[in-house]
Amino acid sequence: MGQAFTGWLLDVYDDPQDGVVLWLLDKDGARRRLHQDFPVTFYAAGPASQLRALWRFLVEQPTQVELDRQERRDLFCQEPVTVLCVRVLQPALLPRLFQEAARRFPTLSFYDADLAFSLRYAAVYNTFPLAYCHITTDGQRLQNITVLDSPWDMDPPMPPLRVLSLELDSNPAHASPACLTIRTTLENPRPAYRLPLRPERPLLVNLAAILNRHDPDLLLTTWGDTWLLPHLLALSRRCQIPLPLNRDLTRGLAHRAARSYFSYGRVVHVGQQTLTFGRSHIDRYNAMLFHDYDLTGVLELARVSALSIQTVARTSPGTGISAMQILTALRQGILVPWHKQQAERPKTALDLLRADQGGMVYQPLVGLHANVAEIDFISMYPSIMAHFNISPETVGNHSPCTCLVPQLGICIDQARPGLVPQTLNPLLKKRVALKIRTADLPHWDPRRRLYKERASAHKWLLVTCFGYLGYKNARFGRIEAHEAVTAYGREALLQAKEAAEDLGGLVLHLYVDGLWVKLPGASTVSDYQPLLDEISNRTGLPIGLDGIYRWVAFLPSRVDGRVPVPNRYFGVFQDGSLKMRGIEARRGDTPPFIAQTQLAMLERMAQVPEVAQLPGCLPDLLGLLRGRLASLRRRRVPLPDLVVSQKLSRRLDEYRTPSPAARAAAQLESTGKSLQPGQRVRFLYALGDPGVYAWDLPIPPDPACLDLARYAELLLRAGATILQPLGVSEATLRDWLFNNAGYGSCPGVLPLNSSLTGLQL
DNA sequence: TACAGTCGGGG
DNA sequence: GTGTACGACTGTA
């Protein structure tokens, strides 16, 4: 019997035997499971004889396929290519069939062969996670699905998701958890249940009852990927008590092994992943950037990328932007090349040249400056790609309609919109719209946070898009496109500098996508508007005023005080908020005690309304530092505030000179706790050999072993960073702090106009 | 002093 | 499976 309903798409995946499974949340509240036939296709191109051989091979396979010859477009070829089109009737059978074909016919080029299943479905039906759909069925099978909203809607109808959060009372990597706290809503902080992890049978029975009663759409856990779900599954098997962690009871949990990989110049460790069917599982401690954009951002990423909620929660936003490019290609019938993981090639001359061909970096004018505006290009690199139509297939392509990249002499085809700009345009538009919505709402409005989290998710998509363009293993990457983007970026920044100088301004600093500038007599946002308009006109790129600093200090190098460093500065905006880059408080490996002290100093300086009064803070700041030093020496600082947390960059046997982190990791290893590259190790600086004490050793640290002198030194340095622009050198501060020298011995307490202070008003 | 190891950065 | 830079800084030999 046919029926129709509207509701939200919760999950889509291929069924081992029967097409695709869809889970839908009917707007009347029911969760419905439907099957649908969904054949999937991959393509092969190459010499006709090879294609014929592949044809013969495929028809002999047990897997049901429909074969056909077609002409299709390869993004990088002008002419259409002839391909063998392999339609696999059962989508779950495609990966194995393709692998076998690729193994036997290594010389053929394959396309659309290794795509995330959700993308294949999304390309055909325009679906995305949580899409609002109209569905017709014959009861069991889906007959028709029509999506009623779009990922680009600002306020789409959101489903009333049922969330169940399962939280452990301790990190299983460090201590054995004893208790599971369960909440049934995100809003209510009061736990609904507390279950002891032992004895096991009552735990399983109770948890099963809770899962059945609440039937959540989303399981939000702490350490669920790496410990909790695998642990529960093992218990369930051992005690033979079924536990419905999956909503789809025909499937088991899916696992992906832990791995370490190199990304962004450092090793990243991703723990084991545990995935559910019919509902989504997110481990908030194993989810990428979850702290930055929360669940709202994860859902936004899933909607715009069409990747599943569980996927976007665990992978970098680069995966999301790549998925969007694939989707753009699929929907336009452009072939998506099979993405072989290529071995690293030796660096080419091009790679070396890139060293000084990145973003524009300028030497700041060291010292303290008042009334400085910080002006940033908004999403600079993505805006450049969109504005100049930079895409792997448009760069270096001659056509009747090209433009020339400044200084590089590379052509960019303007005749038709590129794949990357087409993918980026709606993202750029939506991010601006989200930011405008945020700005329009009052601070108390709860929707403000949600818009911000969504905008933050978009920010990461846009940021990673640029790097992806220059990544040689990317499907749609091309180094010349990457270079064209940075060349336009440098050009735009120089144009902005000229615009500022033409309006009589003093440019203090340029850094990749921003400039710090003083216009004479300017002190308000509207005073800077003409400059913003001028830059926008000259470059064609969107620009924004990040803020006007009451004062900002650019720091010199610690190694050589005469050399400015581009990204070490701090300042206070007119609204009293702080901004800092590169200093100790921003670093993840600074002990909290040191970071808190530095922040406290800055907060006191932020209280001062006028820059001229800043040196007046000196006695106060010095008092603060002395107080902190005293509490350190009297051992009043709680040990957790002295913990250093650093990432291991390699295996322990690969260290030639073991760093403090490596020595702490070696301590842990000797008690059986081994750490992988990319994992963090926490330790205290300690007296004697080996100079550290790992925080997660079974025996808690003895406070008497603390290396107080080392912490005092760190405190001194962090203090000196802040006082340096006021004319207090590290040596002077050392005298003050450690030798109790009086203020009189301080050359920093001088009239403001002293050249010693480097003060420019 | 040289060199090996770690970190930032994007709003 | 998704940015294998680059420069500043710190600790160790």
pLDDT one-digit tens code per residue, A576-617: 999 999 899 998 899 999 999 999 999 999 999 889 999 999
- In one letter, which amino acid is A549? Y
A733 CA to B9 C1' distance (Å): 30
Check pLDDT > 60 for residue A355: no
Amino acid at A503: L
Six token digits for residue A170: 């301790």
Three-state SS letters, A521-579: CCCCHHHHHHHHHHHHHHHCCCEEEEEEEEEEEEEECCCCCCCEEEEEEEEEECCCCEE
Minimum CA–C1' distance nucleotide for A582: B8
Chain C bases near protein Cβ (<7 Å): 1-13
A469 versus A589: the higher-pLDDT residue is A589
β-sheet with A132-137: strand ranges across: A31-36, A20-26, A3-14, A132-137, A142-147
- Whole-angstrom distance, CA of residue A737 vs CA of residue A430: 52
Residues 219-238 of A with CB under 7 A from strand C: none
**Contact A313/A290 with Cβ under 8 angstroms?**
yes
Distance of CA A142 to the CA centre of its chain: 36
Tell me the C-alpha to C-alpha distance, in Å, between residue A181 and each of A60, A176, A495, A524.
Answer: 55, 15, 57, 51
Q: What is the DSSP letter of A729?
A: -
Confidence at residue A205, expressed as pLDDT on a 0 to 100 scale: 97
Flag whether pLDDT at A749 surpasses 50: no
CA A239 to chain centre: 40
Q: Where are the domains of chain A?
A: 2-37+124-147, 43-120, 163-214+218-278, 367-582, 618-755
Question: Residue A440: pLDDT above 70?
Answer: yes
Task: Give me the residue label for tokens 């106060």.
Answer: A620
pLDDT at A341: 53
pLDDT digits (tens, 9 = 90+) for A188-224: 778 899 999 999 999 999 999 999 999 999 999 999 9
Q: How far is the CA of A462 from the C1' of B10 (A)?
A: 9
Nearest nucleotide, CA A116 to C1' = C1
Residue pair A20/A121 in contact by the 8 Å Cβ criterion? yes
Distances, alpha carbon A469 to alpha carbons A272, A420, A474, A479, A688, in Å: 29, 9, 7, 7, 49
Residue with minimal CA–C1' distance to B5 is A659
pLDDT (0 to 100) of residue A372 = 95
For position A358, what pLDDT does the model report? 72
Which 3 state secondary structure label does DSSP give A17?
coil
The per-residue pLDDT for A289 is 75
For the ranges A63-72, A643-652, A749-758, the lowest mean pLDDT is seen at A749-758
Fold category of A2-37+124-147 in CATH:
OB fold (Dihydrolipoamide Acetyltransferase, E2P) (2.40.50)
Residue-level pLDDT at A477: 81
CA of A223 to C1' of C11 (A): 34
pLDDT at A706 over 60: yes
Report residue A684 as tokens: 């205290």
* A 497-526, residues with C-beta < 7 Å of strand C: none
Nucleic strand B contacts from chain A, 588-627, CB < 7 Å: 588-589
Q: Which nucleotide is closest to A267, CA to C1'?
A: C4
- Rounded Cα distance between A465 and A444, Å, is 33
What SS3 state is found at A84?
strand
Distances (CA, A) of A493 to A362, A480, A482: 10, 20, 17
Tell me, letter by letter, the H, E, C secondary structure of A573-641. Answer: ECCCCEEEECCHHHCCCCCHHHHHHHHHHHHHHHHCCCHHHHHHHHHHHHHHHHHHHHHHHCCCCCHHH
Chain A 89-128, CB < 7 Å to strand C = 114
Residue bearing the bigger pLDDT, A353 or A416: A416
- pLDDT for A317 equals 78
Q: Are A258 and A269 in contact (CB under 8 A)?
A: yes
The reply to whether A265 Cβ lies less than 7 angstroms from strand B is yes
In this prediction, residues A352-357 reach a mean pLDDT of: 44
Distances (CA, A) of A475 to A29, A128, A388, A517, A687: 41, 22, 21, 40, 52
Confidence grade of residue A363 (pLDDT, cut at 50, 70, 90): confident
Q: CB of A710 under 7 A from strand C?
A: yes
- Give the residue, A129 or A653, on which the prediction is more confident: A129
Arithmetic mean of pLDDT over chain A: 89
Is A649 within 7 A of strand B by CB distance? yes
For residue A534, the model assigns a pLDDT of 97
When pLDDT is cut at 50, 70 and 90, the band that residue A356 belongs to is: very low
Only one residue has tokens 């050392």, namely A734
CA–CA separation, A681 vs A667, rounded Å? 11
A717 CB contact with strand C at below 7 Å: yes
Q: C1' nearest to CA of A257: which nucleotide? A: C1
Q: Which nucleotides of chain B does any protein CB come within 7 A of?
A: 4-11
Please state whether strand C lies within 7 Å of residue A174 at its CB atom: no
Quick one: pLDDT band at residue A547, thresholds 50, 70, 90?
A: very high
**Residue A322, CB, strand C, below 7 Å:** yes
Give the span between the Cα atoms of A366 and A508, in whole angstroms. 9
pLDDT of residue A286: 83
Residue pair A414/A463 in contact (Cβ under 8 Å)? The answer is: no
**More confident position, A670 or A186:** A670
> Whole-number Å distance, CA A127 to C1' B4?
51
pLDDT recorded at residue A76: 83
**Bigger pLDDT: A194 vs A319:** A194
Label residue A212 exposed, middle or buried (CB < 10 Å: 0-12, 13-18, 19+).
exposed
CB-side neighbour CA atoms (13 Å) of A221: 27
Q: Model's pTM, two decimal places?
A: 0.90
Confidence of residue A349 (pLDDT cuts 50, 70, 90): very low
Tokens 């650019």 locate to: A554
Please determine, for residue A491, whether its predicted confidence score (pLDDT) is greater than 60.
yes
Contact predicate A706/A714, CB 8 Å:
no
A284 has a pLDDT exceeding 60: yes
Spatial strand order in the sheet of A692-694: A644-647, A680-685, A692-694
pLDDT of residue A741: 75
Whether A577 contacts A565, CB under 8 Å: no
Weakest-pLDDT range from A42-46, A247-251, A316-320, A628-632: A316-320
Distance A222 CA to C3 C1' (A): 29
Report the distance separating Cα A757 and Cα A726, nearest Å. Answer: 5
Rounded Cα–Cα distance for residues A217 and A281 (Å) = 9
A262 touches strand C (CB under 7 A): yes
**For residue A379, what are the contacts with CB-CB under 8 A and spacing of at least 6?**
A428, A431, A459, A462, A542
The stretch A653-661 carries a mean pLDDT of 88
The CATH superfamily assigned to A367-582 is B family DNA polymerase, palm domain (3.90.1600.10)
CA A705 / C1′ C9 distance in Å:
26
Name the strand (E) or helix (H) holding A427. helix A419-440
Say if residue A574's pLDDT is above 90.
yes
- For residue A186, the model assigns a pLDDT of 75
Q: CA at A662, C1' at C12: how many angstroms apart?
A: 13
Q: Say if residue A285's pLDDT is above 50.
A: yes
A327 CA to B9 C1' in angstroms comes to 29
Cis amide bond preceding A216, omega within 30 = no
pLDDT above 90 as % of chain A: 68
> What confidence tens digit (pLDDT) does each residue in A152-182 have?
999 999 999 999 999 999 988 888 999 999 9
Task: For helices A730-738 and A708-723, give the axis angle rounded to 10 degrees.
Answer: 130
- Would you say the C-beta of A563 is within 7 Å of strand C? yes
Nucleotide nearest to A659 (CA to C1'): B5
Mean pLDDT of A466-490: 81
Closest C1' nucleotide to A560's CA: C8
Within 7 Å: CB of A292 and strand B? yes
Mean local confidence (pLDDT), A508-515: 90
Whole-number distance in Å between A552 CA and B11 C1': 19
Mean pLDDT of A363-369: 91
Q: Give the tokens for residue A288.
A: 């990428």
DSSP β-ladder status, A179-183 and A132-137: unpaired
Does residue A262 or residue A639 have the better pLDDT?
A: A639
The yes-or-no verdict on residue A345 having pLDDT over 50 is no
Q: Which residues pair with A403 in a beta bridge?
A: A412
User: Is the model more confident about A628 or about A263?
Assistant: A628
Q: Is the pLDDT confidence value at A353 over 50?
A: no
C1’ B10 / CA A642, Å: 29
Give the mean pLDDT of A712-741. 91
Cβ proximity of A641 and A597 under 8 Å: no
How far, in Å, is the CA of A355 from the C1' of nucleotide C6? 8
pLDDT at residue A292 is higher than 90: no
Which CATH code is given to the segment(s) A618-755? 1.10.132.60
Amino acid A256: pLDDT: 86
Phi-psi region of A687 (alpha: psi -120 to 50; beta: other; left: phi over 0): beta
Whole-angstrom distance, CA of residue A334 vs CA of residue A28: 39
Query: How much is the average pLDDT of A518-537?
Result: 95
Res A98: pLDDT: 95
Protein-nucleic contacts, chain A 403-462 to strand B, CB < 7 Å: 455-456, 459
Q: Decide which of A462 and A634 is more confident.
A: A634
CA A594 to C1' C13, in angstroms, rounded, equals 28
User: From the C1' of B4, which residue's alpha carbon is nearest?
Assistant: A657
Name the nucleotide with the smallest C1'–CA separation from A556. C8
